[in-house]
């Protein structure tokens, strides 16, 4: 009887551990294993070992790929080398999206520019179909010369956008203060390149020069450490050791992260929706008057 009980207990514990472990994923870092091409495979070039991938934009099409799974909270990162030379009108995007009618979305968008002008890194957060939370910074390096790491940390406390481990933007969970926050809709990871000349550069003034096509953006070392959606949000919201991103150590920026964040905001921010009084007719969104970290 004792041996039977022990065997049953072992099976139960094993099943629980299996279920818990299946809720999280540490990606293989392989584009062919973790993603599928969702748009224009003729404009996608992947290395034989799956470690590198390029997307092309020409007059015929852009391209994109998407994660095989959907997630609710986690850490998502990829190395990117952006389009060199004249890139006005082009948009390269690394983002999370739920694809629901009232969709949630967390965006990293890289807006190309004319020669002599820097790239613009635009971030945005959509909740229940509403965005209008754009923030723009210019990089402190040339993002076309070599690969740099871009990370989205999304947990129950906040969303943080990182460039080479430096936080450039936060969006806090202020639901208790009436601020919407993405916390229920699972999202997939997407990477795209497309024609945004109607708005991306100079408000649409500077168009794509197709004589310089194809425009190529390169990607490497994708990593996803996140909670796989299995039908309900509870397991992904839990402060479980497997959901390390929901731990108390990630409920705010650290001291050194705050210093870097302030440095970026002071020296590299070129647009903040929370300072655009005219756009919101002097009624700024509620989160603009609350803490950023």
| This prediction's pTM | 0.91
pLDDT tens digits, residue range 142-177? Answer: 999 999 999 999 999 999 999 999 999 999 999 999
221 among known catalytic residues: no
105 among known catalytic residues: yes
Task: Give the span between the Cα atoms of 56 and 37, in whole angstroms.
Answer: 13
Among the listed residues 66, 77, 105, 158, the single catalytic one is: 105
First-to-final CA distance of the chain: 55
Mean model confidence pLDDT for the chain:
92
Long-range Cβ contacts of 233-241 (<8 Å, 24+ apart): 233/72, 233/183, 233/184, 235/20, 235/23, 236/23, 236/71, 236/72, 236/73, 237/72, 237/73, 237/156, 237/183, 239/156, 240/20
Q: Is 191 exposed, middle or buried (0-12, 13-18, 19+ CB in 10 A)?
A: buried
pLDDT tens digits, residue range 168-194? Answer: 999 999 999 999 999 999 999 999 999
Q: Which residues contact residue 58 at a Cβ distance below 8 angstroms, ignoring those fewer than 6 apart?
A: 43, 210, 213, 214, 215
pLDDT tens digits, residue range 244-281? Answer: 999 999 999 999 999 999 999 999 999 999 999 999 99
Among the listed residues 66, 109, 158, 197, the single catalytic one is: 109
Confidence label for 99 from pLDDT (cuts 50, 70 and 90): confident
Q: Is the predicted pLDDT of residue 236 greater than 70, yes or no?
A: yes
Q: Is the predicted pLDDT of residue 8 greater than 90, yes or no?
A: no
Q: Is 119 exposed, middle or buried (0-12, 13-18, 19+ CB in 10 A)?
A: buried
Q: Is the predicted pLDDT of residue 208 greater than 90, yes or no?
A: yes
Task: Give the span between the Cα atoms of 89 and 275, in whole angstroms.
Answer: 25
Task: Give the span between the Cα atoms of 290 and 293, in whole angstroms.
Answer: 9
The DSSP bridge partners found for residue 171 are 159
Residue-level pLDDT at 157: 98
């Amino acid at each position: 009887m004792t041996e039977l009980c022990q065997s049953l207990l072992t099976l139960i514990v094993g099943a629980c551990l299996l279920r818990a472990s299946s809720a999280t994923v540490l990606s293989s870092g392989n584009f062919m294993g973790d993603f599928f091409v969702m748009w224009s495979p003729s404009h996608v070039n992947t290395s034989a070992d799956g470690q590198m991938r390029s997307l092309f934009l020409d007059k015929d099409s852009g391209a994109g790929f998407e994660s095989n799974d959907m997630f609710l909270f986690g850490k998502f990162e990829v190395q990117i080398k952006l389009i060199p030379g004249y890139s006005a009108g082009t948009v390269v995007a690394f983002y999370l999206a739920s694809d629901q009618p009232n969709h949630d979305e967390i965006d990293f968008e890289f807006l190309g520019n004319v020669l002599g002008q820097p790239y613009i890194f635009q971030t945005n957060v959509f909740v229940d179909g509403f965005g209008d939370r754009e923030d723009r910074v210019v990089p402190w390096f040339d993002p076309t010369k070599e690969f740099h790491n871009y990370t989205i940390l999304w947990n129950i406390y906040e969303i943080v956008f990182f460039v080479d481990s430096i936080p450039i933007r936060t969006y806090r969970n202020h639901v208790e203060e009436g601020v919407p926050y993405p916390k229920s809709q699972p999202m997939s990871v997407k990477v795209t390149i497309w024609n945004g000349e109607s708005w991306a550069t100079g408000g649409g003034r500077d168009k794509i020069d197709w004589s310089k096509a194809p425009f190529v953006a390169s990607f490497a070392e994708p990593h996803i450490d996140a909670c796989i959606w299995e039908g309900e949000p509870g397991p992904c919201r839990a402060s479980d050791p497997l959901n390390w991103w929901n731990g108390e150590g990630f409920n705010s920026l650290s001291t050194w992260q705050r210093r870097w964040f302030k440095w970026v905001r002071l020296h590299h921010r070129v647009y903040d929706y929370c300072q655009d009084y005219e756009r919101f007719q002097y009624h700024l969104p509620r989160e603009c008057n609350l803490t950023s970290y």
